[in-house]
Structure 1
């Protein structure tokens, strides 16, 4: 299992890939269930970070193959 620091690093990298390569997907990041906490001070743990990373990866895996020129580097 990845550490919290590794997951945070990977999330930043994935988010930057989306921002730089597919800016049209940025609007979906705010709508992801993992980014909308259902309580005032949500607990952030490795499981939640992994779920968020997986959702970002899933978004790219579904979207990127349909666009020429993208090299799968995540």
Structure 2
């Protein structure tokens, strides 16, 4: 089972990869729905962070599939 530190490390690693390797995609990170909470006092827990990580992974996967160099 993943813990909070592991998920945060993976988010940091993936965000750095996007920033350094795909700067054109990096600007969209501020616009993801996960970064715009609808609650006045959102709860940030392991489940929320795992959802955010999955969203980052899906965004990068979609970008790579639609912007292939072939």
* TM-score range for the pair, normalised by the shorter chain length: 0.7 to 0.9
Residue 42 of structure 2 aligns to a residue in which SS?
coil
Helix, strand or coil at the partner of 2:31: coil
CA distance in 1, matches of 2:7, 2:19: 18
Can you give the 5+ residue segments of structure 1 that lack an aligned partner in the other structure?
Answer: 69-74
Name the structure 2 match of 1:19.
Answer: 19
With normalisation by structure 2, the TM-score equals 0.86
TM-score normalised per structure 1: 0.82
Provide the aligned C-alpha RMSD in A.
1.3
Q: Distance in 2 between matches of 1:44 and 1:5?
A: 13
- Corresponding residue number in structure 2 for 1:50: 50
Point out where structure 2 has 5 or more consecutive residues left out of the alignment. none
- Equivalences, count: 68
* 2:59 counterpart residue number: 59
